[in-house]
Structure 1
């Protein structure tokens, strides 16, 4: 009689990403890519591409940076669209949207207050631009500062993005299915208070989050300016690389991908 198969434990995943990939931050992105590669292996992370950071660093027409994007994608790095300008040009002043825009980002919640039509226009243009450069589909869409308004959510559901992400989850826009849950571990460099709070949270996360099926880590160009943040990033990546397999976001779409 054949013995029953031993159940296979679900694979734990580590998803890492470099935000704000733009010609404006090319040197810092190189530094972060080298750091992540050292912990996770070459190409075992994602990049979030901004087509025209603050409308002063366009990728369109920049052949050298376009070649860099293709080279990174050829290494296996997943490429997400990360807004269009990464700048909130329609800021709210009241209510929950106003609170988020003021306290959760430094004027960069681009998709927090856009109408449906505006969100469709920017997402469509960004998707077409980046996919034309790469010669392949983008991996998904992640809004600047992980902030989405109603217009952005509506646009996501109809534009064919495979994945989307906010502070607390990764989901599939086509049907709204949540594929991973848990807070993003990230760092902030724009003030002493935010540096201190992000160091505190990342230290807590190293102790509290190893049981999560999927752990997400996100780094930003500004992190490279603060040695304490870089040390914390190293500690965090090293800790989770021991318990979680450095993986691609696309792996969440598989049968073992949920949560």
Structure 2
């Protein structure tokens, strides 16, 4: 029997720093997916400018979304990368993100502390367990990977797979479809990849599509996001990441 094909949708960088943009994306995905069939990646204190702690109004919003079925992932702590990198890590830090790969250069102890603090804060807010941990920009250094294996998080994700941190078992494989808004070149390349994905990735058992607050600033990206989600949702069921554990 063939495995059911599913769609995993997510909104990154959720928090009060980009509140209006996240609200816009939540409304858009709810429309395209027929309900709150997506995950949110929550940043506890985005760039040290928008702490969830003490923000009762935003905490209530997260709790309401969670009660409606949205899966909540811990998405780093600050999201900002302040480490000095060399070698492959330096390439990733320069070309795969713009100072956003917070967990690329952390020690195991520091990564573990931020993971645990983020988990406690978000779980206290939503009143239930978080769905897992996803590093900012999907970038993990050796320290983060070691900390993640001992963290107790049920799920983790990078650009190419979803896995169980405790065992390393891969639960889904294939590239995340996402968009980049910070330069014209990145906007064009991400739109081009999304157009290829709408043709070439339907064979995947698990398709993953992620959006970011910055996407809302570029109408062409929103059009591409609409077309891509619609294409995949017409061929497979929007599902929860937690379903991968049940499988």
TM-score category by the smaller chain? over 0.9
Does the 8 A contact of 1:45 with 1:248 survive in 2?
A: yes
Other structure's SS at 1:108 match: coil
- Equivalent in the alignment of 2:79: 86
Other structure's SS at 1:249 match: coil
Establish whether residue 39 from structure 1 lines up as the match of residue 16 from structure 2: no
Q: Aligned partners of 1:204, 1:240: CA distance in 2, in Å? A: 12
Other structure's SS at 1:48 match: strand
- Equivalent in the alignment of 1:136: 128
Other structure's SS at 1:218 match: strand
- In structure 1, which of residues 177, 181, 185 is the aligned counterpart of residue 177 of structure 2? 185
Matched residues, number: 247
- In structure 2, which of residues 196, 207, 217 is the aligned counterpart of residue 225 of structure 1? 217
So what's the TM-score if we normalise by structure 2?
A: 0.99
So what's the TM-score if we normalise by structure 1?
A: 0.94
- Equivalent in the alignment of 1:54: 47
- Give the drift of 1:91: 3.0
- Equivalent in the alignment of 1:16: 9
Q: Aligned partners of 1:51, 1:254: CA distance in 2, in Å? A: 28
Structure 2: runs of 5+ lacking an equivalent: none
1:151-190 aligned at under 5 Å gives the runs 151-190=143-182
Bigger Rg, which one: 1
- Equivalent in the alignment of 1:75: 68
- Equivalent in the alignment of 2:115: 123
- Give the drift of 1:89: 1.4
Moved over 6 A (4+): none
Establish whether residue 253 from structure 1 lines up as the match of residue 242 from structure 2: no
- Give the drift of 1:39: 1.1
Q: Aligned partners of 1:117, 1:245: CA distance in 2, in Å? A: 39
Structure 1: runs of 5+ lacking an equivalent: 1-6
Other structure's SS at 2:57 match: helix
